[in-house]
């Protein structure tokens, strides 16, 4: 008998596990590559063979959009009832209902699919790159273009672009919570692990989707796309995104309509059956009422608004990862932002080197150039370096020092991290002399120096007070070790200071004024020196600049921090954890928070915010955490985005308020009319046609103008407010419906067909034209003009409804010619109705209460955001065993993996 042994932790069974159990030489041999990487031609061949490094496609799928239109339960019941009516002999009604349902579905499909195509186009503009060795030199390539055999460089903050077998690792730690749920980073090295090792313990591999928490490394790609460990998880995700506040509001609003429609439909059906009216007619009428009260084209109106808004924002250099993020952007009332590139020009210029203790400016500059963790290309330029290093290399002063650097060799690197805030290297010159060089934030570097004179400290304070950015450079003799640790950063000799200039943007003051006018409070969160940040804010005209440092934050509990945030404009020398804590604390006050950042240390805060905003030039980890990408780091562009989000929300609410009030009134009228009329007040097909024409007229709402006061402050979904509006204005609509009933019965002595026709024309006119009153709190046309497309569409639909009884379709639709006097009566009723709505609107808004602010809802979005990074517009084939790149050559311990692996093995090529 064989006893199965269940491992205590999940066993990794894919390409990464197999590669981790082998030596680096074996893995490179299997992949037919050396440490210098692939050639461009070979990479192209492998890409064609194995496909893009993607886990899903973001292309618009017509069938999925169509399914969204067809999955309505009410629609299904209506189609079923139409089929039944066809088989019981009511062929014309069945055909008419079928045609109207098809037109409604087609209209919604066309608009939503267009919005999906817009989202696809926007998504395609967002780029994610990785540094790889191609043709023997470092290059930046799209992550979707990586193939097995590529040699990839890893640095602090990088998102690992594929499953990698590590070839080099220097203090490398990766945060793997997206895969394993472990909150602590995992240390990495190059030593093979035993076969059958759990996924969380694959120290020899860096796995796709994880984040480089500290250190640096180099690895060879062993699995891409859906064959990577992250890809297996992401490929199993369904297409549903976590809901934003706007989507939650839509869902709650839909549930309100479901309850109202259910109550009205059931009561109308019971009344009609009790009055011995034909069962099929009563059923169709009840279902048509249910469909009529539901704004079927609300998704289309929202999608059209968002798509149009996204196109406008794209022209203004704002990209959104998800269209609904535009709405969320409009809800923001507090913005936390970094300083560099937002308030300042972001074009950092090296100004001068300040020597200390007998060194020369040339020596300080040379040491600064040598102390970098990035590799250089064949022109001697760093690839993927930080902005300060790039500014140093691009400066005219560095040109004379570059020839002197050729005799130096870098032996070891201790990469930058946000706790130490510095980078160290050991280098050896042509004569074999080795030294340790440290470069970083002056406060931390000076702490590790053996001696710092008071004049040096005063000079440093003067540079900070002038708003300059300063990097300190120190060195000492060292041994030519291949390893370097933080403990080695001691007993340093301060060589000098490197001074950089990043002046304020000239247009920032105007942008800050626009944000203030939108009710958005801007606060600065930076890792820079507090004196520098305060000087920049003062130059930009920000008054009452309160400053807190990371040390100050550590001394405050959450309650005291909440109070302190209100009076603080600048948070300086803060860590990533500090930034996230500030955002979370602000969110607990009930306000909607946006965070704008582009660095590795901004990722935690970007995830914690309601809306994460980054820039196209940001680090991958920052772009991955963000919801909105700015192609230009400009607060003016951000103000445009906020205005657009509020405009879209305002137009969406116009449709919601108008539809719920008028539809509720009309359907309530239908229920009341059923009590005393010997016939149905309107045929089911006529109700559906009325609803289709009405909704079609509202597709122009996204083009409408929005009053200035509607974008001055954030607006939120308030179901209680919508319900109150519906209850207040619905009866006004019903009142005029009953007046129409009286006119038709007692003035024109209408029969059933003429009654149907008269109410059809009147209800279409009143519920369509009421948009001109409801769309604004001002006086319509006089103080607030609608857009031309909305005006023409509304008037055109009313004219079409009035003309239908005189067309050849009248007999098919069950219409009859109306007497001319009826149109005069309808015109008078419409004018009185709009005047009454206008009067009621003024009373309603005068007594309306302030909507309650929604409570913040945190959700785990990391996995889906990360998966979106590895996406392509092309169709992805299913992974097959024959496509696996890494050969599994027999070696000791393979038996364990073969028993536990669910992935087919590939024979050696």
Report the C-alpha gap between 380 and 103 in whole angstroms. 63
User: Taking Cα atoms as reference points, which of 465, 381, 382 lies closest to residue 423?
Assistant: 382
Per-residue DSSP letter, 804? G
Please list, in sequence order, all residues whose beta carbon lies within 8 angstroms of the beta carbon of residue 785, skipping any fewer than 6 positions away. Answer: 705
User: What are the two backbone dihedrals, phi and then psi, of residue 348, each rounded to the nearest 5 degrees?
Assistant: -75, 130
Report the C-alpha gap between 502 and 217 in whole angstroms. 31
Beta strands in 179-241 (DSSP E): 186-187, 205-206, 211-223
CA 534 to chain centre: 31
User: Taking Cα atoms as reference points, which of 41, 54, 122 lies closest to residue 874?
Assistant: 54
User: Taking Cα atoms as reference points, which of 742, 763, 797 lies closest to residue 668?
Assistant: 763
- Return left, alpha or beta for 490; rule: phi > 0 is left, psi -120 to 50 is alpha, else beta: beta
Long-range contacts of 804-810 (CB under 8 A, 24+ apart): 804/760, 805/757, 805/761
Q: Three-class SS of residue 492? A: strand
Helical ranges in 71-125 per DSSP H: 73-87, 91-124
User: Edge to edge, what strands does the sheet with 334-337 contain?
Assistant: 318-320, 628-630, 611-615, 593-596, 334-337, 521-525, 570-572, 547-549
Q: Three-class SS of residue 396? A: helix
Catalytic residue among 30, 328, 338, 695: 338
Report the C-alpha gap between 611 and 609 in whole angstroms. 5
Report the C-alpha gap between 711 and 706 in whole angstroms. 8
To the query of whether residue 417 is one of the catalytic residues in this protein, the response is: no
Helical ranges in 173-244 per DSSP H: 177-180, 229-235
Q: Report yes or no: 607 and 599 within 8 Å, Cβ to Cβ.
A: no
Number of C-beta neighbours around residue 509 at 10 A? 15
Beta strands at 186-187 and 205-206: parallel, antiparallel or unpaired: unpaired
With tokens 């590895």, the residue in question is: 870
Report the C-alpha gap between 522 and 338 in whole angstroms. 10
Per-residue DSSP letter, 746? I
Q: How far is CA 63 from CA 69, 70, 113, 175, 813, in A?
A: 10, 10, 10, 38, 31
With tokens 């109070």, the residue in question is: 563
User: What are the two backbone dihedrals, phi and then psi, of residue 351, each rounded to the nearest 5 degrees?
Assistant: -95, -55
Within 13 Å and on the Cβ side, how many CA atoms surround 904?
Answer: 9
Tokens of 242: 């976590």
Q: Which helix (H) or strand (E) holds 34?
A: none
Count of residues in the chain: 909
User: What are the two backbone dihedrals, phi and then psi, of residue 93, each rounded to the nearest 5 degrees?
Assistant: -60, -40
Per-residue DSSP letter, 627? S
Tokens of 887: 């050969």
Tokens of 132: 């790889």
Q: Three-class SS of residue 194? A: coil
Please list, in sequence order, all residues whose beta carbon lies within 8 angstroms of the beta carbon of residue 756, skipping any fewer than 6 positions away. Answer: 680, 681, 682, 683, 686, 814, 815, 816
Per DSSP, what are the bridge partners of residue 595?
Answer: 336, 612
**Which residues are annotated as catalytic?**
338
């Amino acid at each position: 008998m064989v006893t199965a042994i269940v491992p205590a932790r999940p066993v990794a069974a894919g390409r990464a596990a197999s590669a981790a159990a082998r030596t680096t030489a074996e893995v490179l041999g299997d992949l037919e590559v050396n440490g210098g990487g692939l050639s461009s031609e070979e990479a192209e061949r492998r890409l064609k063979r194995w496909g893009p490094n993607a886990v899903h496609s973001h292309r618009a799928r017509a069938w999925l959009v169509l399914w969204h239109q067809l999955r309505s339960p009410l629609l299904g019941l209506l189609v079923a009832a139409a089929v039944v009516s066809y088989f019981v002999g009511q062929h014309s009604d069945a055909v008419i209902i079928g045609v109207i349902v098809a037109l409604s579905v087609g209209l919604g499909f066309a608009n939503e699919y267009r919005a999906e195509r817009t989202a696809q186009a926007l998504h395609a503009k967002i780029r994610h790159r990785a540094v790889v060795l191609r043709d023997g030199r470092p290059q930046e390539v799209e992550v979707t273009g990586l193939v097995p055999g590529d040699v990839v460089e890893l640095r602090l903050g990088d998102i690992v672009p594929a499953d990698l077998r590590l070839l080099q690792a220097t203090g490398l730690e990766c945060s793997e919570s997206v895969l394993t749920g472990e909150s602590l980073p995992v240390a990495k090295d190059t030593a093979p692990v035993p076969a059958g090792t759990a996924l969380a313990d694959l120290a020899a591999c860096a796995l796709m989707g994880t984040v480089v928490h500290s250190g640096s490394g180099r690895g060879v790609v062993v699995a891409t796309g859906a064959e990577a460990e992250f890809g297996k998880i992401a490929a199993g995700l369904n297409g549903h995104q976590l809901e934003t506040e706007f989507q939650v509001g839509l869902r709650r609003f839909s549930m309100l309509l479901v309850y109202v429609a259910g109550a009205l439909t059931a009561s109308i059906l019971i009344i009609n059956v009790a009055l011995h009216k034909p069962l099929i007619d009563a059923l169709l009428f009840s279902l048509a009422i249910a469909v009529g009260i539901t704004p079927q084209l609300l998704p289309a109106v929202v999608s059209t608004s968002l798509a149009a808004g996204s196109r406008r924002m794209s022209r203004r250099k704002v990209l959104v990862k998800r269209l609904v993020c535009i709405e969320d952007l409009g809800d923001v009332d507090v913005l936390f932002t970094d300083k560099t590139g937002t308030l300042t020009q972001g074009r950092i210029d090296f100004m001068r080197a300040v020597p200390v203790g007998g060194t020369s400016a040339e020596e300080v500059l040379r040491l600064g150039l040598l102390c970098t963790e990035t590799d250089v290309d064949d022109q001697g330029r760093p690839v993927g370096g930080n902005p300060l290093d790039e500014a140093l290399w691009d400066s005219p002063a560095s040109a004379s020092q570059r020839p002197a650097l050729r005799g130096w060799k870098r032996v070891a690197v201790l990469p930058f991290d946000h706790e130490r805030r510095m980078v160290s290297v050991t280098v050896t010159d042509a004569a074999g002399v080795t030294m340790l060089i440290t470069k970083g934030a002056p406060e931390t570097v000076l702490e590790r120096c053996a001696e710092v004179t008071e004049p040096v400290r005063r000079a440093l304070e003067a540079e900070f007070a002038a708003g300059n950015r300063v990097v300190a450079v120190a060195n000492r003799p060292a041994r030519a070790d291949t390893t370097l640790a933080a403990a080695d950063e001691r007993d340093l000799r301060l060589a000098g200071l490197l001074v950089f200039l990043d002046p304020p943007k000239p247009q920032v003051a105007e942008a800050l004024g626009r944000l203030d006018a939108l009710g958005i409070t801007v606060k600065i969160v930076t890792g820079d020196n507090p004196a520098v940040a305060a000087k920049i804010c003062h130059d930009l005209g920000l008054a009452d600049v309160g400053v807190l440092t990371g040390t100050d934050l550590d001394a405050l509990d959450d309650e005291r921090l909440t109070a302190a945030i209100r009076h603080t404009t600048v948070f300086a020398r803060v860590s990533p954890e500090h930034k996230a804590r500030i955002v979370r604390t602000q969110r607990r006050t009930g306000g909607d928070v946006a965070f704008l950042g582009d660095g590795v240390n901004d990722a935690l805060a970007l995830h914690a915010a309601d809306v994460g905003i980054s820039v196209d030039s940001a680090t991958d980890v920052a772009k991955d955490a963000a919801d909105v990408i700015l192609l230009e780091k400009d607060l003016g562009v951000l103000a445009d985005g906020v205005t657009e989000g509020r405009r879209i929300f305002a137009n969406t609410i116009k449709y919601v308020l108008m539809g719920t009030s008028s539809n509720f009134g009309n359907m309530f009228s239908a229920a009341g009319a059923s009590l005393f009329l010997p016939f149905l007040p309107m045929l089911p097909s006529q109700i559906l046609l009325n609803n289709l024409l009405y909704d079609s007229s509202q597709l122009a709402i996204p083009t409408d103008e929005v009053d200035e006061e509607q974008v001055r402050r954030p607006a939120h979904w308030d179901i209680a407010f919508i319900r109150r509006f519906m209850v207040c204005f619905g009866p006004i609509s019903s009142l005029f419906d009953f007046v129409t009933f009286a006119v038709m019965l007692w003035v024109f002595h209408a029969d059933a067909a003429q009654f149907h026709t008269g109410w059809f024309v009147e209800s279409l006119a009143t519920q369509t034209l009421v948009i001109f009153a409801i769309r604004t709190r001002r006086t319509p046309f006089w103080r607030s003009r609608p857009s031309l497309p909305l005006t023409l569409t509304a008037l055109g639909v009313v004219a079409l409804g009035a003309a239908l009884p005189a067309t050849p379709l009248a007999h098919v639709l069950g219409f009859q010619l109306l007497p001319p006097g009826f149109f005069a009566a309808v015109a008078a009723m419409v004018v009185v109705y709009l005047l009454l709505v206008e009067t009621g609107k003024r009373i309603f808004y005068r007594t309306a209460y302030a909507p309650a602010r929604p409570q913040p809802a945190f959700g785990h979005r990391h996995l889906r955001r990360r998966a979106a990074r590895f996406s392509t517009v092309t169709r992805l084939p299913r992974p097959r065993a024959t496509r696996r790149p890494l050969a599994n050559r027999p070696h000791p311990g393979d038996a364990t993996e073969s028993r536990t692996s669910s992935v087919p093995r590939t024979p050696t090529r």
